[in-house]
Chains A and B, each alone.
Chain A
Amino acid sequence: MPVNETLATYSDYAFHSAVGIYLLAMLLHLGEYARTRVPAARAQVAVAAGAGAPADTGTHTDPADSGTQTDPEGSGTHTDPEGSVIPGVTPAGRPWPERFGRMAVALTVLGALVHVGSVVVRGFAVERWPWGNMYEFISAACLMAVLTWIYVLRRNPGMRPLGAFVLLPVEILLFLAGSALYVKPAPVQPALQSYWLTIHVTAVSLASGLLLVSGVASVLYLVRPYARGGGLLDTLPAADTLDRAAYRVTIFAFPLYTFAIICGAIWAEAAWGRFWGWDPKETVAFIVWVVYACYLHARATAGWRTGGAAWINIVGMAAMLFNLFFINLVTTGLHSYAGVG
């Protein structure tokens, strides 16, 4: 099978662009936090007054006002018609943190589109589903995580302050994939030439992406109570919201992960002669499954419902990442498809 080098190059360009765009989105999210870090009282005044202000923003461009602008850069202070100073309100009527946040989301969506392009073009370049090695798999899993994140945002815009925390692991993973783990596009070895590659790996990467989002939510749930007022953590959604989000995502991801493992077993039966053989990858997949089963049980056990369950969720995420990196790169097994080393 020939590889279309031109398309492959375009795919790489798109990949790097997506990484750059995500980075920018993450920085904007951080900017959002930075601008939100004003004393709580002032912020509340600003929000209250901003909410009460007329929708018509014409008053803000009133020439009479321009003289009283206390912030020449217009980056956060503005006077309302009554003359009192409102921090954080721009001439456009939206506070800067809000603008940063919105820009970050817009860039995340753009990044996801470019990322989709990268994956699709890579698929056309190699004329197969583009998840045959670790670079491609991580790219796909991160794309799933970002798409999950966008979906969560659409359902619940209040989760937006989580943005940087979701994009951070995605950035790290993509950076690793694009640098240390990158492999040139090529056909895959015979064992991978099966339609199960599409089904099994799609399910695994989607479940991994979902569980990553869930794990991040649980981490934030655990640190949320340490917010001391006016700090970075205060911009996060309430602890309950985070915990519920983690749970909701997990109850969707867990059956999907189960499905992925079952597909893997069916494929293994055809490729390796047995449906389950305690290959290191299979073993850790089993461990991950058991840990998430623990999580669901903990949610129904007194004393474990919240804090304990969140810890288990994090252990599950760690086990999943361990399965992705350690098992692929360090141990040798039948899943050693990383294409590196």
Chain B
Amino acid sequence: MTKAIRDAAGKPDPEQAGSVGIPEPGQAEPGVPKSPTQGAENPDSPTTDPPERDTPTPTRTPTRTPEPVRRASPGRLATGVSYLRNTWRGLVSMRTALVLLFLLALASLPGALLPQRSLNPAKITEYRRQHPVIGPVLDRLGFFDVFASPWFAAIYLLLFVSLIGCLGPRTLEYAKACRARPVATPRNLFRLPHHASAVLEGPPEDVLVSVRGQLRGWRTDVREQTGADGRTSYTVSAEKGYLREAGNLVFHLALVGLLIGFAAGKLFGYDGQVIVLTGGNQFCNSGILGYDSFNAGNLVDGTSLTSFCVKVNSFDAKYLANGQPEQYRSDIGYQAGADLDAGPDGPWHPYLLKVNSPLRIAGDRVYLLGHGYAPTFTVTFPDGSARTQTIQWRPADQATMLSEGATKFDRPGLPDEASRRRGQIAVTGLLAPTSSGGKVITSVYPGLLHPEVAVDVLRGDLGLDDGRGQSIFEVSQAQLASGALQRVARQNLLPGQRLRLDDGTTVRFDGVTQWVDLQISHDPAQAFVLVFAVLILLGLGTSLTIKRRRFWARIRPADHPGEPGRTVVELGGLARTDQAGYGEEFARLRGALLGAGCASGAGDAGVSEDDAGVDTERVPPGGTRDRGGSA
């Protein structure tokens, strides 16, 4: 034993335990001071590995080990190598993992507290207006895209490098440990937290048979020893709970798998939103241009979207009296695969789209995300030509579905561009699905019971041709400010009512149509993510419930020559991780092997039966521990 695993005060050696790669959560039962089990760290220690194991793995070595490196490194190259090696060891050490986990939690916090671009870009504009100094700085540093920022990626990538650097060697260790013989019986079983001894009738061979019978399900190893007097004694080493480490490894490997699945989804997936009016309007997933907004994965160019079409027949919402929505559903039809060849007249498969039941079709999913109202206006120009449009207005208030928008008309039949621009018309304002009535209307209920619009009619140049994109919900504020677009009327209209402009143009409010907001999502990796999530759960459960424990029996003929056929049996038990519960198991084994009235030691040793909270295993399984000779 060249290296003290614990110092004199019974504290763990920080370098030793600090290099544990993956936590053994149960192994660190707290602060029981010096106890008999510390003897377990002696050369005849039960934690000593079989002699054939001799290569310490990098992860287990202390994070700061200059001595061996210095000895082997006279040159500059070697110094560099040793520097790299020490950096690597530091990276895969447990303490680094802990720090990185902390950083990960800390770095995620702004993602919850600051507005995020992926969730609501409008809020960022508002935040920047309210905080003109710090807003742009935060934006430049990526605080509004925390989960896409380089520093966040740096943290989790380092964390996963650290994890993988630790998992690899640890998996090899585990594979070796699974094939290795259970460790030899310690010389002094009475130093273990659980021990017992008795003198039994019968030769050692019979006792051996009964011990092995009781240890079914344990990995056992029997060692024979012939003493000077020619009599044979046996030691039985048994170990159980190997699945704990397997669960631990599965858990951590599945985390890596989850991250890869998540990343694959971001690379190859896409999602897009589109508003479709009810009444048989269709949407076909043929290209990006069909969408109102589209988020493509980094490797998606939009040329090979899954082909399918959706037809929205109707939308139906139910509300409580206080306006709280109770049910949304939309009656849709869809076409996919061979149906598409028949065109819009081909077969449509009906589906009732609801909030918690998306349409899953050809690897894509269609969701009902929202709904709204689209007023229909007919503008009749002085020359008698009429134009009718139904354009979606957006909800300004989700609770009452008071909606706002702009329906834009181009006057037909005008020969020159200049006069055409003078005569464009926009109907803007508010739509109340259930109007309060009165001069200034508002909506009192989200359902479409008593619709009314309060409109401003604008005339002039809408600025549609200036090359810039325009929101379909608004008119250009610049055109309004410059006077190119002017308000020519303001009036409340019920369905069927019309207003007349000074030049004889009439605007009629015809009625209201519902629209639905559909989201089409594609994530080829989400099934993998689910599989890994389940593996995470299984691994976690296994590693936190199964306990690693060891059991030894030394069986030797009674010393007294006058007692032929009697056998001395010593038992010892040690839980390598959480001691809780091992006391009962040991007591059961002891009772079965030695009978009830044997000399038991668990209590005598000053350790309670149950929570003998001793961290017996200062070094992780198969760590850099001395190859002391065991008997």
Q: Name the contact of A302 in the complex, choosing from B14, B31, B118, B357 (C-beta under 8 A).
A: B14
Q: B613 on the interface (CB 8 Å rule)?
A: yes
Which residue of A is nearest B103, CB measured?
A: A290
Docked CA distance A187–B15 (Å): 58
Q: Which residues of A contact B25 (CB under 8 A)?
A: 251, 296, 299-300
| Main SS at interface, chain A | helix
- As a 0/1 sequence over residues 264 to 302 of chain B, the CB contacts with chain A under 8 angstroms (1 = contact) are 000000010000000000000000000000000000000
Q: Name the contact of A193 in the complex, choosing from B20, B355, B369 (C-beta under 8 A).
A: B355
Q: B95 on the interface (CB 8 Å rule)?
A: yes
Q: A165 on the interface (CB 8 Å rule)?
A: no
B623–chain A nearest beta-carbon distance, Å: 13
A189 and B325: CB pair below 8 A?
yes
Q: Name the contact of A273 in the complex, choosing from B95, B262, B365 (C-beta under 8 A).
A: B365
A275–chain B nearest beta-carbon distance, Å: 6
Which residue of B is nearest A279, CB measured?
A: B119
Known: A240-B613, A274-B523, A290-B105. A301 touches B98 (CB 8 A): yes
Contact residues of B between 313 and 358, Cβ < 8 Å to A: 320, 322, 324-328, 354-358
Contact residues of B between 137 and 154, Cβ < 8 Å to A: 146-147
Q: A69 on the interface (CB 8 Å rule)?
A: no
Docked CA distance A267–B20 (Å): 36
B369 and A283: CB pair below 8 A?
no
Q: Name the contact of B97 in the complex, choosing from A193, A251, A297, A303 (C-beta under 8 A).
A: A297
Known: A266-B530, A286-B108. A331 touches B113 (CB 8 A): yes
A219–chain B nearest beta-carbon distance, Å: 16
Q: Which residues of A contact B83 (CB under 8 A)?
A: none
Q: B13 on the interface (CB 8 Å rule)?
A: yes
Which residue of A is nearest B16, CB measured?
A: A302
B356 and A194: CB pair below 8 A?
yes
User: Of B17, B98, B519, B526, which is in contact with the most chain A CB atoms at under 10 Å from its CB?
Assistant: B98
Q: A276 on the interface (CB 8 Å rule)?
A: yes
B116 and A278: CB pair below 8 A?
yes
Which residue of B is nearest A285, CB measured?
A: B112
Docked CA distance A299–B324 (Å): 47
Docked CA distance A194–B327 (Å): 12
A262 and B537: CB pair below 8 A?
yes
Q: Name the contact of A190 in the complex, choosing from B97, B271, B325, B519 (C-beta under 8 A).
A: B325
B105 and A294: CB pair below 8 A?
yes
Q: What number of residue pairs across chains A and B have CB atoms under 8 A from each other?
A: 164
A278 and B325: CB pair below 8 A?
no
A204–chain B nearest beta-carbon distance, Å: 15
Q: B386 on the interface (CB 8 Å rule)?
A: no
B533 and A265: CB pair below 8 A?
yes
Which residue of B is nearest A305, CB measured?
A: B28
- As a 0/1 sequence over residues 598 to 623 of chain B, the CB contacts with chain A under 8 angstroms (1 = contact) are 00000000000001010100000000
Q: Which residues of A contact B523 (CB under 8 A)?
A: 274-275
A251 and B533: CB pair below 8 A?
no
B103–chain A nearest beta-carbon distance, Å: 10
Which residue of A is nearest B148, CB measured?
A: A278
Docked CA distance A269–B519 (Å): 12
Q: Name the contact of A244 in the complex, choosing from B29, B113, B521 (C-beta under 8 A).
A: B29
Q: Which residues of A contact B146 (CB under 8 A)?
A: 278
Q: Name the contact of B540 in the complex, choosing from A243, A258, A297 (C-beta under 8 A).
A: A258
A273 and B30: CB pair below 8 A?
no
Q: A277 on the interface (CB 8 Å rule)?
A: yes
Q: B536 on the interface (CB 8 Å rule)?
A: yes
Contact residues of A between 199 and 258, Cβ < 8 Å to B: 239-240, 243-244, 247-248, 251-252, 254-255, 258
Which residue of B is nearest A303, CB measured?
A: B14
A280 and B112: CB pair below 8 A?
yes
Which residue of B is nearest A275, CB measured?
A: B526
Q: B552 on the interface (CB 8 Å rule)?
A: no
Q: A287 on the interface (CB 8 Å rule)?
A: yes
Q: Which residues of A contact B530 (CB under 8 A)?
A: 266, 275
Which residue of B is nearest A330, CB measured?
A: B113
B544 and A255: CB pair below 8 A?
yes
Q: B541 on the interface (CB 8 Å rule)?
A: yes
Q: Name the contact of A299 in the complex, choosing from B23, B32, B113, B119 (C-beta under 8 A).
A: B23
A294 and B108: CB pair below 8 A?
no
9 tightest Cβ-Cβ pairs between the two chains A and B: A300-B23, A302-B17, A302-B14, A283-B112, A190-B355, A194-B356, A290-B105, A299-B28, A273-B367
Q: Name 7 A/B residue pairs within 8 A (Cβ), A-sorted.
A: A186-B324, A240-B30, A258-B540, A278-B116, A283-B112, A302-B18, A327-B112
**Which residue numbers of B lie inside 8 Å of A, CB to CB?**
12-18, 20, 23-32, 94-95, 97-98, 101-102, 104-105, 108-109, 111-113, 116, 118-119, 146-147, 262, 271, 320, 322, 324-328, 354-358, 365, 367, 369, 519, 521, 523, 526, 529-530, 533-534, 536-537, 540-541, 544, 580, 611, 613, 615
